[in-house]
Structure 1
Amino acid sequence: MAGITDLPMRDLVTGFGADLVVSEMVASGELVTARSGTRERAELGIGRAATSVQLAGRDPAVMAEAARQVADLGAALIDINMGCPAKKVTGGLSGSALMRDPDLALSLIEAVAGAVDVPVTVKMRLGWDDDSLNAPDLARRAEGAGVRMVVIHGRTRCQFYKGQADWNAIRAVVDAVTVPVLANGDITDAETARRALDASGAAGVMIGRGIQGRPWAVADTIAALSGTSATSAPTAPNRAALAARHYDAILSFYGTDLGLRVARKHLGWYMDDAGTPADLRGRILRSRDTAEVLSLLPEALASRDAERTAA
């Protein structure tokens, strides 16, 4: 979720009741060498409740130093990324590439857990490929090294995001450890969350891509799983107001020039959910006039409701 779960997005999702949000992945080596922009990313959300800072890397000493730095800055939790499938990450022997070298992965976990007093968690996949489904063993070793929670995406690295997440396979990890395990992958709403929990036996779920353009899905899911009255998706006017607040927050955080580029993907996801006509969608995404964008959002995000009323 790099480039997506920035501070404006995390603040928005937290407002819908998420128990925990995780920062964008921060490269530990860049953080330690203070490469421009990296420290700023690490600081996003530090000091905010229920925020975890996610670190990636392959050098135990560097990972430990990065963990100490973010802990000293006030991070409440630190998450070790062992699940990212991107080639630019695995090519550097980080992310899910660590699942091909469990001993190195364990040394990273031991180094981070030994460097800080805050809880350390880890996110991983089922394995590198179907021939090496080693998540249960690696999770067991991670728990022994001090990890307090494990998140499992129900795919291998070689699957990337293809096919369907295998929630049943997560149960082997649940059975292997005593710390909480969260299920992840293809969880988009209350129904898929229930199915993932039933199949995996996990203690909870993590939602990623499912909230793109639908941040209220968090509240719906929490309400349904807790047995309270389910909240519903915002009405068209409320949806437009929410998107406008998100748009303003992005521009305020990044500045207008960069903010306009960052905001496009989020506006696109809101319009995907609303079924916005292509011509109106294109006009909004091409516009560099913030006032014009804000004026068009009510029409753009009312499209699906209008179609339902007409039907």
Structure 2
Amino acid sequence: MSETQPPPPRIGRHSLANRVILAPMAGVTDRPFRQLCRRLGAGLVVGEMVTADPSLWHTRKSRLRMDHRGEPGPRSVQIAGGDAAMLAEAARLNAEMGAEIIDINMGCPAKKVCNKAAGSALLRDEALVAEILEAVVAAVEVPVTLKIRTGWCADSNNGVRVARLAEQAGIQALAVHGRHRQQRYTGHAEYDTIAAIKAAVGIPVFANGDIDSPHKAAAVLDYTGADAVMVGRGAQGNPWIFREIDHYLRHGETLAPPSDDERTGVLRDHLDALHAFYGEHMGVRIARKHVGWYLAGDARLDEARRGELKGRFNRLESRHEQHRFIDDLFGHARPSAAAPREPGATSKGTRAA
């Protein structure tokens, strides 16, 4: 580690492996994807959002979201809801089932979540925020973390006040997405509020929003003083981003992109894990969005070629056909003029200001 590189943050008794965290994303950060991102360098992974209402946990979707078998610790489970007593009970039950960190969702901008006075809708009611945080922290012995946005809208950027409430309630770490709820995922994340939150509290702060490269991660950390970056959409189709960011933060060097052989192996492993986790019928269908993201992020393919390949993959109906597609893809995707590079080779990079 560089002499100027701060150590990875701690969440309660847990010391993270590095300063790069996988953000919780509903429909994305299932167990196969979490395990893949951890293998490729994520210092912490957070599971998909789970409703705080235990009466809904019998559904197949909830059961799969709560499946952390075989995962190394610390296992972080995110819960969402708008009732303090129900959230506290959900936290207690998840801790009994093996959750080592409980994360409370006050950042989701989805209508179906906000319409139930949960997610980022809670930011409009600071008294309820305090009640929920105090109830959940009191209910469990494991550390509790919180994910928020900068506020509900541009006229109510109350992220600093909510952060202070969180620290007072005993929250052990805070992730902040640099947009207010009404922005959803449009425009650009802003980091001034995250910097103000970091200056206002003593607990670890994780900067989230538009972290899509090692240089961007370094720039955001330098600007905000945050303890770690949390990567969400930047990891879709690019699970290598975690080791790339970690390597750049430690050594100031940019890793070469993964070789075609590694890409093939990672995609095949991801497909196998999806098919095993969901069963072949659902696994084949869920694999389509992931492979679509992999194709969208491959700079060697033009837009027309990406669309053609995505259409072909989406028509495949079996795991064997999907594997054959991946094997063929990287046999033909490499530009003929490109010289092969040794896996793991690095090039010197300049820290972003």
Distance in 2 separating the partners of 1:213 and 1:164: 21
Contact 1:217 1:233 in 2 (8 A): no
User: In the TM superposition, what is the alpha-carbon distance from 1:306 to its structure 2 partner?
Assistant: 1.8
Contact 2:84 2:136 in 1 (8 A): yes
Q: Give aligned-pair identity as a percent.
A: 42
Task: Kindly provide the amino acid, as one letter, of the partner of residue 290 in structure 1.
Answer: R
Q: Is residue 2:261 matched to residue 1:212?
A: no
User: In the TM superposition, what is the alpha-carbon distance from 1:309 to its structure 2 partner?
Assistant: 2.5
Contact 1:18 1:218 in 2 (8 A): yes
Map of 1:21 onto structure 2: 45
* TM-score normalized with structure 2 length: 0.83
Provide, for residues 47-88 of structure 1, a one-character-per-residue CA deviation record: whole Å limited to 9, x for no partner.
631321000001111111110001011111000000000000
More divergent stretch after superposition (288-297 vs 120-129): 288-297
Map of 2:185 onto structure 1: 161
Contact 1:126 1:154 in 2 (8 A): yes
More divergent stretch after superposition (77-86 vs 254-263): 254-263
Q: Is residue 2:206 matched to residue 1:182?
A: yes
Structure with the largest fraction of helix: 1
Task: Kindly provide the amino acid, as one letter, of the partner of residue 211 in structure 1.
Answer: A
- Specify whether residues 102 and 214 from structure 1 end up closer, same or farther in structure 2 by C-alpha distance, changes over 3 A only: same
Map of 2:328 onto structure 1: 299
More divergent stretch after superposition (120-129 vs 276-285): 276-285
Q: Is residue 2:248 matched to residue 1:231?
A: no
More divergent stretch after superposition (19-28 vs 229-238): 229-238
More divergent stretch after superposition (42-51 vs 76-85): 42-51
More divergent stretch after superposition (48-57 vs 96-105): 48-57
Contact 1:125 1:152 in 2 (8 A): yes
Contact 1:81 1:95 in 2 (8 A): yes
Map of 1:81 onto structure 2: 105
Pairing of 1:83-122 with structure 2 (within 5 A) = 83-122=107-146
RMSD: 1.8
Contact 2:114 2:121 in 1 (8 A): yes
Contact 2:204 2:227 in 1 (8 A): yes
Query: RCO (CA 8 Å, sep 6+): is it higher in 1 or 2?
Result: 2
Provide, for residues 119-164 of structure 1, a one-character-per-residue CA deviation record: whole Å limited to 9, x for no partner.
0000000000010010111110111101000000000000000111
Task: Kindly provide the amino acid, as one letter, of the partner of residue 290 in structure 2.
Answer: H
Map of 1:35 onto structure 2: 58
Aligned partner of 1:12 among 13, 36, 54? 36
Distance in 2 separating the partners of 1:192 and 1:119: 29
Pairing of 1:191-210 with structure 2 (within 5 A) = 191-210=215-234
Structure 2 SS opposite 1:240:
helix
User: In the TM superposition, what is the alpha-carbon distance from 1:35 to its structure 2 partner?
Assistant: 3.2
Map of 1:282 onto structure 2: 311
Distance in 1 separating the partners of 2:50 and 2:66: 6
Distance in 2 separating the partners of 1:201 and 1:151: 13
Unmatched runs of 5 consecutive residues or more in structure 1: none
* TM-score normalized with structure 1 length: 0.94
User: In the TM superposition, what is the alpha-carbon distance from 1:232 to its structure 2 partner?
Assistant: 2.7
Map of 2:14 onto structure 1: none
Structure 2 SS opposite 1:305:
coil
Task: Kindly provide the amino acid, as one letter, of the partner of residue 16 in structure 1.
Answer: L
Distance in 2 separating the partners of 1:120 and 1:45: 21
Contact 1:43 1:70 in 2 (8 A): no
Map of 1:309 onto structure 2: 338
Unmatched runs of 5 consecutive residues or more in structure 2: 1-24, 340-353
